[in-house]
A and B are shown apart, each in its own frame.
Chain A
Amino acid sequence: MVEEQRGTTVILDNLESAVWKWFALAYSFDDVLDFVQAFLNQPRETVRLRLDEILSKWLSLGLLVVAGAA
């Protein structure tokens, strides 16, 4: 993934790549949670934590911004 304005690059592999594509295809958070649960075959709460971890990482890398944030 390339963030052109900041000139940064991030490689999204495996689960992260899949999650990015699911969100880009406009699946809801709950849908993606279902997909990841099926993908990892782990309890829902564990999967939610994993997804939170991925989104936090993307936020820190600047790939995501919080709507309305300055």
Chain B
Amino acid sequence: MTNLIVSRRCNQHCSYCFALDQPGADPSEDYISLDDFDQRLDYLDRSEITQARFLGGEPTLHPQFPELVRRARARGKTIVVFSNGLIPEAALNALEDLSPAECGVVMNCTGPANLRKLTALSRLGTRAQPGCNIYHLGQDLNRYIPLVNESGCKRALRIGLAQPVLGGKNAYLPAKYYNQVGDQVAHFALHAAAEGIKVEFDCGFVRCMFSPDALNQLVEIGADIGWHCSPVIDVDIDGRAFHCFPLAKKYWLELEPQTTAGDLRESFFAQTAVYRQFGIFRECLDCSSFHEKSCSGGCLANIMRYFTIKSFQIVL
């Protein structure tokens, strides 16, 4: 998979956001050009990727968003959009024109309830599902159940843990709170399952944040948890491909005319291999799940924070 960044502009300002918020001096650089987008589609074709995943900023702010969708559909791609839900009318219409089989929207609904988001979720129906990012203790997850019930969207919720951006200053959930959040998430997932809502987990979760009982219950309800750090590559509008947003400032490669997603993943795995020997906790080194590779030990960006490289001189 690969996410295509089509807009650096966003109409929200979330403290935990790990997307690069670096609009160029020239406003035209905030959005991908149609020619460059065609090149991204070429990249997806030669990588045999059937999804066109739109990322931002807020991707639907692209002034030619309907045309981007049309071009991706013309290549037979399924459309996936990661949106904050504050979607311009033209973009919303373009998405409504597609069937749920042709299009999926993951709508970030973290934060206070918003009528505009609820309306977009309702209009998109089963094309859309809400998502939330946990970035501090005490976030109320139960409020997403009525949101799903009332909007008539897909009966699923995607949960992510906000991770630190290397070299950035975003808000994120420190690993010391993982156990508390694990209890809360597991309890919520069971509650949601009882309501017929599936909880999907983003990357960065670790097994030890859940009690053994909670882990068994999550397995029983068919929770799909990303225990592995297997990067979904992001490609920025300037043609830089990076491992993922949290590591964007450290690991990136230019997208060359022949590059495939497989090439990029191989390079990024090689570059990060040295850090993959560790986990977010000291205990990972003695953990059987970590050694058996059934748990990657958490987000690499979180792990790498412990390895701040400082150059210094010792004068004897």
Is B316 among interface residues, defined by CB-CB distance under 8 A? yes
B315 near A4: Cβ-Cβ < 8 Å? no
Question: Which residues of B from 257 to 309 have beta carbons under 8 Å from A?
Answer: 273-275, 277-278, 307, 309
Most A Cβ at <10 Å: residue of B277, B307, B312: B312
Is B313 among interface residues, defined by CB-CB distance under 8 A? yes
B274 near A67: Cβ-Cβ < 8 Å? no
Is B310 among interface residues, defined by CB-CB distance under 8 A? yes
A67: which B residues are within 8 A, CB to CB? 313
Is B314 among interface residues, defined by CB-CB distance under 8 A? yes
A9 to B273 Cα, complex, angstroms: 11
| CB < 8 Å neighbour of A23 from B277, B278, B312 | B312
A29 to B312 Cα, complex, angstroms: 12
B273: which A residues are within 8 A, CB to CB? 7
The distance from the CB of A48 to the nearest CB of chain B, in whole angstroms, is 11
Is A64 among interface residues, defined by CB-CB distance under 8 A? yes
B310 near A4: Cβ-Cβ < 8 Å? no
> Assuming A2-B275, A4-B274, A9-B274, is B315 touching A28 (CB within 8 A)?
yes
A29 near B307: Cβ-Cβ < 8 Å? no
B274: which A residues are within 8 A, CB to CB? 2, 4, 7-9
> Assuming A1-B307, A2-B307, is B277 touching A9 (CB within 8 A)?
yes
B309 near A2: Cβ-Cβ < 8 Å? yes
B314 near A4: Cβ-Cβ < 8 Å? no
Question: Which residues of A from 15 to 57 have beta carbons under 8 Å from B?
Answer: 23-24, 26, 28-29, 55
The distance from the CB of B270 to the nearest CB of chain A, in whole angstroms, is 9
A24 near B312: Cβ-Cβ < 8 Å? yes
A4 to B310 Cα, complex, angstroms: 12
B312: which A residues are within 8 A, CB to CB? 23-24, 26
B314 near A24: Cβ-Cβ < 8 Å? no
A24 near B307: Cβ-Cβ < 8 Å? no
B314 near A29: Cβ-Cβ < 8 Å? yes
A2 to B308 Cα, complex, angstroms: 9
A25 to B278 Cα, complex, angstroms: 25
A26: which B residues are within 8 A, CB to CB? 312
| CB < 8 Å neighbour of B314 from A7, A8, A64 | A64
B314 near A55: Cβ-Cβ < 8 Å? yes
A67 to B37 Cα, complex, angstroms: 49
The distance from the CB of B216 to the nearest CB of chain A, in whole angstroms, is 33
A4 to B307 Cα, complex, angstroms: 10
Most A Cβ at <10 Å: residue of B274, B277, B314: B314
The distance from the CB of A5 to the nearest CB of chain B, in whole angstroms, is 10
A28: which B residues are within 8 A, CB to CB? 315
A24 near B310: Cβ-Cβ < 8 Å? yes
> Assuming A2-B307, A2-B309, A4-B309, is B275 touching A29 (CB within 8 A)?
no
Q: Which of B's residues lie within 8 Å of A, judged by CB? A: 273-275, 277-278, 307, 309-310, 312-316
Q: List 20 A-B contacts (CB under 8 A).
A: A1-B307, A2-B274, A2-B275, A2-B307, A2-B309, A4-B274, A4-B309, A7-B273, A8-B274, A9-B274, A9-B277, A23-B312, A24-B310, A26-B312, A28-B315, A29-B315, A29-B316, A55-B314, A64-B314, A67-B313
Q: Which of A's residues lie within 8 Å of B, judged by CB? A: 1-2, 4, 7-9, 23-24, 26, 28-29, 55, 64, 67
**A-B pairs with lowest CB-CB distance, top 8:** A24-B310, A2-B307, A24-B312, A7-B274, A23-B312, A2-B274, A23-B314, A29-B316
